[in-house]
Amino acid sequence: MLEYRPDKFIRTYEAYNGARYWAWLIQPHVLTIMETACYLRRPAVEAIAPLLEREFGADLQRVKLRQMIGHMVRQILEAEGYHLHRANVRINSRDNPFHFGSAYTRIAA
């Protein structure tokens, strides 16, 4: 099973029970949504944001928490064979708590 390496987000991980977010993010249906966003060359966090808000609510207003989630998403997608395609992709939806995200593409075999 894939384990999260919090690195610079260790304090955020501990303060906000990051294990909850990690467990939620590694669910197969969430991974499918993130992979679909990758296929469409859009940030994975853009696609999962509505589900994150439904699951975790107001916590997503915290910048460090959103950054940690992006860090988690990167580790998950890299473990699945994706690599960073574009960083700081603008997310234009006004109701999305993420203003920017990273887009990933599958590494060619």
Tell me the C-alpha to C-alpha distance, in Å, between residue 90 and each of 3, 32, 94, 107: 28, 22, 11, 23
CB atoms within 10 A of CB 75: 18
pLDDT tens for each residue of the chain, 109 residues long = 799 999 999 999 999 999 999 999 999 999 999 999 999 999 999 999 999 999 999 899 999 999 999 999 999 999 999 999 999 999 999 899 999 999 999 977 6
Between CA 96 and CA 13 the distance in angstroms is 22
What is the residue extent of each domain of the chain? 7-106
- Name the helix (H) or strand (E) containing 92: none
